[in-house]
Amino acid sequence: FSADVRFRGDSVNHWAFPNKSWRIALRDGKFYQGMNEFNLNVPRVRTQIANWLGYDMAERLGGLLVPHAEFVHFRLNRKFDGVRLLLEQPNQDFLQRNKLPVGKIFVGDVDSEQIYGGEERPLLYLRSDAWDVKAPSVEESNGELQALVDVIKNEQDPYHFYDRMQSLVEMPALINYMALLELVGSVHVDETHNGKLYFNPDSGKFSPIVWDTVAYFWKNEMPLDMGTNALFRVTNSNPGFREAKDKALWNAIHGSLAAPILHQAITNETSSLRPDMYAFALKLHANDKGIHHISNREWEESIAELHNVIDERHAMIRSELAATHVAYKVSQTSPRDALLGLQVRSRSGLQLNQLTLHLENARDGQVVVLQRRGLEDVGPQLDHEKTSLSASVQNGKAVFTLGDHLFSKRKYLKRKSPEIVPATYVYTLSIPKGASLLEQVDFDAHNAVSSEKYTPVRDHTLSLSPQHKKNIVWWDPDSYRTEEKEILKGVVEINSTREVGPRTALTIQAGTTVKMAPGASLFINGGRLVVEGTEDRPVRFVSQDPEKGWGVLALRNSNNSLLEHVTLSGGTRARLDFVDYEGALSFHESTATLRSVVLLGDYLSARDSTLSLEKCRFENIFPFYIRTENARIHEKGTKKVNLPATLPKSILGEPGFGTSARAEREFKYTLRADDLSKYKLDDLAKRLQKALAKKGDDRQVWNAPQFTQTDYYIDDDTEDFVFRDIYFDTPDDHAYRKQVSYRLRNRYKGWKAYKLHVKQQDWPAEWPYRLEFQAKTGRQELGRG
């Protein structure tokens, strides 16, 4: 391979010693195991395998974005120079290798000046501008990340937080990542560095990228529920997310990351590495206290210690999560009313399956009513039928089948020091007249994490508040919410984008006409759409203004939607919640059935979706009617009608995006010489730049500022670039004759980048870094060229 190489790393252990870390970028569009860019990192701790082990464990755990990592025998100028960890660089190639759409990768890290020069290290999860954006285009906005930061900083309601996080983050991936870091006891993904997030442009959600875990470097010193950064703290502070993390941790140590599996993986890897490790005398150990070389004996001792640490940490985690401590108390507050309180005091919660109340003087058939207190906190989608249950007395007993998940809580006194906060769940009881409630309660319950059976213990000292305090406990919202119903009928005007969120079903009745305002969209975001059109009374989506298009009918994260006998006309494109929807009818990560759907003037877009189409018709100017990416489409009886292309006059009144209208004068020069090959183009460009900078302020030479009423500025850099322009015109050259230039311009980093793009058009690294439509009127040629 031919490659561009450089030293890499933010700290001195990477580049201040004889064996250094390298960043490799292969030239000419070549790939090694699917990677164009990768790192060759110096192992940095006594075991030499800490980071490799973290990546290996992440792969075994599953559900995570994990860069490829493997140890390699390293030679520099043909001389043996130890081992390196070959580590994939998370970039667009990494996304493609994981079968993900190209998108933004946000990198939150430190540089050498911040480590050694005293520069500020901004808090990543409280400032979106602290992150770098790596994208295939120059569009480097961070609005997506700002939305996440806003939730982390400002969302105080736990149920709103729960919902908003799930709309912005792939929570199973984040939960698995947090579980992995707790398992290996790593605090290295902290407030200021090692943050890597991928924003999926189809799902509209962030996923963490595993990075620099330094597995078991801190041995068994770190507690569970570590809050090494603000994102982890707020996630752990939510009982639902935290217990999901604990469940993932429990499953890991009893499954794919069980201690015997890790011991075998380490033994296999160190056996393979041992000859190279022994042969290299400059093995490094680096930490906050300094850097030193380690001997072969020290390396072997550290590997033996690593095995012991794994056993110790697994045992600690098992002990912490298996422990259950729940107290209960029965308190009769009046002849007909009583309270039953259960206080969760352990790290793990309690799954309360069934409870049996004991009563005196109660006749068979009399009814006891149990009500869950505080359930109203889950919000307006509460299923009120689940707030209370009734049970008939039989032989002095009332049995309630509950299925309630009771959680403990957490409080962070310091960033990395969580404290278990007991949570007291209260049930109000209505008992039959003349009956009395005994203190004895029988429970069928188990530890919510380990599933081990547990019986709560009675505690007479437990204090039960007569009044509920909002959000004092966490009721699992997914267990007690129901689907809300919304209905559209008749003639409906949608004047701005309307969103239908999770657990909401929107039904559009037969014969409904939906009039869409210019730019407005109907966005089914986590909800469900049911369009009940019939052959005689179809549903129609039309433009309020025939000269202007509306946005899209888009479904994202929506399951089991149904569209029957619906006609859509006038739809275009839209960007909703940082996601682009390219078809007037768009499905992202959704499932739906479409019957007798007619789409006029545009096409259907499906990404990561499963659709069934029956007797649908598409009429447009395009050579296709469906655009798909990672989608499954089942079609039956589809019809496609090709329409002639026309240029609507309405485009003349549309506002432009990007650069505002301006007057422009452009000069183009050709350099001629007897032998231009004697000159370097970069040198010539720099000379021209200096000459322009020297004369640019001379109004006698340059009088353009009098025309544009602006001053010149000279670019600081000179660079090679290539434009590829595609011009649009009518068959009779209408635009050309009217001095109109309308073109699509692709901008490339240089001639080499353009040639690579032509050769490998699916490679994001060499995509045009900018695409734009340009419209120029009144064009006058004042000279040659």
Q: Are residues 710 and 738 in the same domain?
A: yes
Q: Is residue 175 part of a domain?
A: yes
Do 291 and 386 lie in one domain? The reply is no
Beta-strand pair 3-7/741-748: unpaired
449 with 380, same domain?
yes
Establish if 141 belongs to a structural domain.
yes
Gap between the Cα atoms of 433 and 555, Å rounded = 53
Look at residue 514 and tell me if it is in a domain.
yes
Average confidence (pLDDT) over 665-676? 80
- Confidence bin at 785 (pLDDT 50/70/90): very low
**225/275 Cα distance (integer angstroms):** 39
Radius of gyration over every alpha carbon of the chain, rounded to an integer in angstroms: 33
pLDDT tens-digit map of 138-162 = 666 899 999 999 999 999 999 999 9
Whether 83 is covered by a domain: the verdict is yes
Whether 539 and 640 share a structural domain: yes
Mean pLDDT of the region 659-682: 79
Assigned domain for 671 exists: no
> Is-contact 449 246, C-beta < 8 A?
yes
Q: Look at the chain and report how many structural domains it folds into.
A: 4
**Buried b or exposed e, range 660-673, using 16+ CB within 10 angstroms:** eeeeeeeeeeeeee
Name all contacts of 137-140 with Cβ < 8 Å and 24+ positions apart: 137/767, 137/768, 137/769, 137/770, 137/771, 138/769, 138/770, 140/104
pLDDT greater than 80 at residue 192: yes
Q: How far apart are CA 285 and CA 252, in angstroms?
A: 29
Residue at a domain's end among 319, 349, 377: 319
Last residue of one domain, picked from the residues 429, 462, 480: 480
From 480, 504, 538, give the residue that closes a domain: 480
**For the chain, first and last CA: distance in Å?**
42
Query: Tokens 């809050």 identify what position?
Result: 227
Kindly state whether residues 387 and 335 are assigned to the same domain.
yes
Its domain, for residue 753, covers 676-776
Decide: helix, strand or coil at residue 312: helix
Cβ contacts of residue 726 below 8 Å, gap of 6+?
A: 743, 744
Residue 726, domain member (yes or no): yes
Q: What is the pLDDT of residues 284-305, one digit of tens each?
A: 998 878 899 999 999 999 999 9
Exposure string of 704-736, with b = 16+ CB inside 10 Å and e = fewer, is eeeeeeeeeeeeeeeeeebeeeeeeeeeeeebe
CA 630, 631, 632, 635 dihedral sign is negative
CA-CA distance, 694 to 690, in Å (whole number)?
6
Region of poorest pLDDT, from 399-403, 575-579, 757-761: 757-761
State the pairing for strand pair 22-26/553-556: unpaired
**Do 210 and 332 fall into the same domain?**
no
Residues 225 and 278 reside in one and the same domain: yes
Residues 226 and 93 in one domain: yes
pLDDT of residue 651: 65
pLDDT of residue 648: 65
Residues 608 and 737 in one domain: no
Cα distance between residue 751 and residue 754, in whole Å: 5
- Position 660 in a domain: no
For 259, the enclosing helix (H) or strand (E) is helix 259-279
Q: How far is CA 115 from CA 57, 238, 285, 358, in A?
A: 29, 33, 18, 65
- Same-domain status, 474 and 359: yes
DSSP conformational letter for 502: T
Q: Do 596 and 699 belong to one domain? A: no
Residues 366 and 509 in one domain: no
pTM for this prediction? 0.91
Residue 782 placed within a domain? no
Q: Which residues of 178-210 are buried (b: 16+ CB within 10 A; e: fewer)?
A: bbbbbbbbbbbbbbbbbbbbbbbbbbbbbbbbb
